Amino acid sequence: MGSGAANGEMEPFVEVDPSGRYGRYNELLGSGSVKKVYRAFDQEEGIEVIEIINNKNIIALYSVWRDEERNTLNFITEVCTSGNLREYRKKHRQVSTKALKKWPRQILKGLDYLHTHEPCIIHRDLNCCNVFINGNVGQVKIGDLGLAAIVGKSHCARTMVGTPEFMAPELYEENYTELVDIYSFGMCVFEMVTLELPYNECDNVAKTYKKVISGVRPQAMDKG
C-alpha cells in the first residue's frame, strides 16, 4: 500500500488504521507537547488527510482509534493546505486589514457552531496553533478539539486545561462556561494583529497566571 513518491517509487505506509482505509506516512508535519501530526492518505477517496463535525469552519474529523500497543489516541482529520494560523501569519507579515477581519469572523462562526450545538461544546484550547487555514481561498477552520468538553444544560465545566497565555481567569479557577473560548478568541486576534504571543513578557507560567487573574493586559497592547 502507498502513494506515489516524488522519485516515482511507492512511498510505504508506516501505519494503517483498523479499517484499512487510512494509511500514515512517516512525514512529520508538526508536533506539540502531547501530539504529533503526520501526513496520511485516504485510500478510498484518494485524498490526503491528517462522528464528522459538519461545519465549514471546523476541521472535519474522519476517524478516531486507540492504539493499545503504542498507547496513543489517533485522529484522522482533513488537511488545511497552509498549516496553522500562527505559522501562516509569521510567513505573511504584510496582511491587509480586510484579511485580518475575515479570519476572526470565520473563527467566531466556528465557535458559534460549537457553543450552540446540542449539547454545547467548549473548545478550551483555542489559540493560533489550533486554527488552520487554506491560504489560497482564505478559509479558516478551528481544529484540535482534543481538550474540548461536552457540557450539559448548565454549560459549566471545572477542569483546568489549555494554553496558559490564552486561558481566561475563570478557567484557572476551574469554574467556567463556553465564554472562556471567547476570551481565547480575543487573544488570538491579539496575536494576529501584533504578531506577538499574549504575555510574551512573562518568562514562566506563574507570572502569566498572576497577570491574567489580576486583569493585567498583555504588555504589547500598550505599544503605539
Quote the pTM value.
0.74
- Residue 133: which of 179, 177, 90 has the closest Cα? 90
The yes-or-no verdict on residue 52 having pLDDT over 50 is no
Is 97 part of any domain?
Answer: yes
Domain stop point among 77, 106, 126: 77
Determine the residue type at 142.
I
Is 224 part of any domain?
Answer: no
**Cβ(1)–Cβ(7) under 8 Å?**
no
Is 221 part of any domain?
Answer: no
Q: Considering 67, 144, 181, 203, which one is annotated as catalytic?
A: 144
Q: What residue numbers bound the domain in which 184 lies?
A: 85-216
- The CATH number of the domain holding residue 207 is 1.10.510.10
The yes-or-no verdict on residue 48 having pLDDT over 80 is no
More confident call, 96 vs 112: 112
Residue 92 and residue 65 share a domain: no
Using DSSP, state whether 19 is helix, strand or coil. coil
Mean pLDDT of 27-34: 63
- The CATH number of the domain holding residue 60 is 3.30.200.20
Domain stop point among 77, 104, 136: 77
pLDDT at 1: 34
Rounded-to-integer distance, Cα 172 and Cα 160, Å: 6
In 136-178, beta strands by DSSP E: 139-142, 149-151
Residue 211 and residue 104 share a domain: yes
Residue 98 and residue 208 share a domain: yes
Residue 144 designated active-site:
yes
Q: What's the total number of domains in the chain? A: 2
pLDDT at 222: 83
- Residue 113: which of 58, 67, 65 has the closest Cα? 58
pLDDT at 30: 63
Confidence of residue 51 (pLDDT cuts 50, 70, 90): very low
Mean pLDDT of 45-53: 60
Q: pLDDT tens for residues 63-79?
A: 777 778 888 767 777 88
Q: What residues does 67 pair with on adjacent strands?
A: 72
Mean pLDDT of 120-125: 94
Q: List the grid coordinates of 121.
A: 461544546
Residue 188 and residue 89 share a domain: yes
Residue 131 and residue 20 share a domain: no
Domain stop point among 33, 55, 77: 77
pLDDT at 179: 97
